[in-house]
Amino acid sequence: MEALDYHAEERRKAEFDAEEMKIVWAGSRQAYEISDRVARLVASDPVFRKDNRTMLSRKDLFKDTLRKAAHAWKRIIELRLSGLFFSCGMFIPAIKGQGNDEQQQKWLPMAYKMQIIGCYAQTELGHGSNVQGLETTATFDPETDEFVIHSPTLTSSKWWPGGLGKVSTHALVYARLITDGQDHGVHGFIVQLRSLDDHLPLPGITVGDIGMKFGSGAYNSMDNGVLRFDHVRIPRDQMLMGVSQVTREGKFMQSDVPRQLVYGTMVYVRQKIVADASCALSRAVCIATRYSVVRRQFGSHNGGPETQVIDYKTQQSRLFPLLASAYAFRFVGEWLKWLYTDVTQRLQASDFSTLPEVHACTAGLKSVTTSATADAIEECRKLCGGHGYLSSSGLPELFAVYVPACTYEGDNVVLLLQVARFLMKTVSQLGSGKKPVGTIAYMGRSEHLLQCRCEVERAEDWLKPNVILEAFEARAARMSVTCAKNLNNFPNQEEGFAQLATDLAEAAVAHVQLIIVSKFIEKLQQDIPGKGVKRQLEILFNVYALSLLHKHLGDFVASGCITPKQGALANEQLRLLYSQVRPNAIALVDAFNYTDHYLGSVLGRYDGNVYPKLYEEAWKDPLNETVVTDGYHEYIRPILKQHIRVARL
């Protein structure tokens, strides 16, 4: 049977160079070529089959994951690819950021070569976001020159570290450093957990998996673990001593290296999380867009075809802002990579001036992008109707895999409140002569922003980037200034923060959304090659910004920067923009360059051949291995034949 491409006509409609857009999405031609090569290598390798993941038992799923990981490592060596991405989470970045030269020279080569497998054991059963509340102890014993790692309570059990349950040989354990009875707070320690000969836990260590998690397949391929210590001894030099150390005599000392260097690790991890947000969101949007073109419902006249779902304005108004968000998050993620390089160079030169802003920026972007992406994946599932609920759609597993991002590496609400503290401090310093810079430079024009009125008279006025930018700046500035004024009404600022936490979090969101909008504008100001590519990015920018304005219209109007009539004009322009996205929708998701194997979705197939494949997938389910189901004779037949015995009382 001839293969059909149901999206071919849609691709012919594209008003831009699709190949050039792929390069823009990838970041460079070289990045595009490398990612394309790797994706196709993986897709063509039968070991990486994943269409049966949701049907495997937990043990079989985990073993299959180990098989794939081992094969991936083998291929990395054979093809001489970089293996850095293969390491477990933050184990390597933390040693790089917090270990001294000797420790890095000892541990990093082994970790890079996978001679040891490390995990990051910070979160405990009783404490997550409150790192300073961790209970695990590391007490120095001067007689043996060792630390004694101990779990004094049930709630001090390490809980959740990925790779801990069954795989890791070592852990970077965060514990309270105690010398001579004095508590010096939480520090990192490298602790061996399992024998390198037979993988059995070492004496004093209790370790295992914490059990099934949300979703079918999904994160259940990961061995998130529980870990307890019973007076486990480690050498003194296994405390990370890049920023502080304990001498042979047991004296606690700060090293010459500034403690602020630990922020480099945090920035690295959070910029990667933002990049992952654009990746997960674009996957969901790709599936929903391709299926919305294939699916037809209602609107048939005189026996003609029904209307494509993507042509309904209700579908466009839900889907196209998510498509625009995927691009917006991609571009702000690129900027975060630059920020990581910049702050690393500054830290090495003992320049800590940008740290408060960088911390607020990365915390806020991590929070806003992951929350938006988690919500968007679920919205994409609903955009696919009933079929989106099938595991074969790929969306349920994608959602289950992604939602933990809203919690790990900083709970999203807690992070927003950290951003809010930075904003309140910025507002308090406005009269001091200290000029705000970087992402808060707009605060230096707060007097103007508190008074300005949006100059929009027609719907098309909303297409001007400077008009949009000023509206977002005015909203963010006014929300922050209002919160600062309200805080002054409380005799105790901490009480004020507690009472105004919701308003403060909303002000933080406004600030972060402004950052994303401004970085999208900066991207548009760059030299973007390719026929029609820049024009499409301009359309997506306007969709992203105006959809946010529509969603938060109350904030914009309440702050006085725009009127209700101007808000209505923004909505009018947004509807027109959806019509401009529509002919290019398939080409815009093609630019993500995802293979069918990577998407793992029948609904998101490149060729759009959805219905035969849905039918085919259904028959692969283990329930269909027998015509008459197991349990018929024991349970169904007695009911049908009325052979149920009723006990006499």
Residue 208: DSSP 8-state: E
List own/partner pairs for 308-311 with CB under 8 A and 24 or more apart: 309/385, 310/582, 310/585, 311/582
Work out the burial of residue 209: count CB atoms within 10 Å of its CB; fewer than 13 is exposed, 13-18 middle, 19 or more buried.
Answer: middle
CB within 8 A of 562, min separation 6: which ones? Answer: 453, 454, 456, 471, 549, 556, 570
Could you give phi then psi for residue 160, rounded to 5 degrees? 105, -20
Q: Which residues contact 116 (CB under 8 A, 6 or more apart)?
A: 107, 110, 169, 170, 196
Cβ atoms 441, 517 nearer than 8 A: no
State the catalytic residues: 409
**For the CA atoms of the chain, what is the radius of gyration?**
28
Query: How far is the C-alpha of 570 from the C-alpha of 574, rounded, in Å?
Result: 6
98-105: Cβ within 8 A, 24+ apart: 98/188, 98/240, 98/242, 98/243, 98/261, 98/262, 98/265, 99/240, 99/241, 99/242, 100/240, 100/241, 100/242, 100/245, 100/255, 100/257, 102/237, 103/190, 103/237, 103/240, 103/241, 103/242
Please, what's the b/e burial string for 466-491 (b: 16 or more CB within 10 A of its CB; e: otherwise)?
A: ebbbbbbbbbbbbbbbbbbeebeeee
Alpha-carbon gap, residue 61 to 457, rounded angstroms: 59
DSSP label at residue 571: H
166 contacts 69 by C-beta, under 8 angstroms: no
Helical residues (DSSP H) of 214-312, grouped into ranges: 262-294
Residues making up the annotated binding site for FAD are 123, 162
CA 506, 511, 516, 517 torsion-angle sign: positive
Q: What is the DSSP letter of 200?
A: P
Separation of alpha carbons 112 and 110, rounded Å: 6
DSSP 8-state symbol, 627: S
Block residue for tokens 């030169």: 349
Distance of alpha carbon 490 from alpha carbon 469, whole angstroms: 33
Closest of 65, 73, 57 to residue 222, by C-alpha: 65
What is d(CA 153, CA 168) in angstroms, rounded to the nearest whole number?
23
Q: Is the separation of the CB atoms in 547 and 324 below 8 Å?
A: yes
The dihedral formed by the CA atoms of 562, 566, 567 and 570, expressed in degrees to the nearest 10: -120
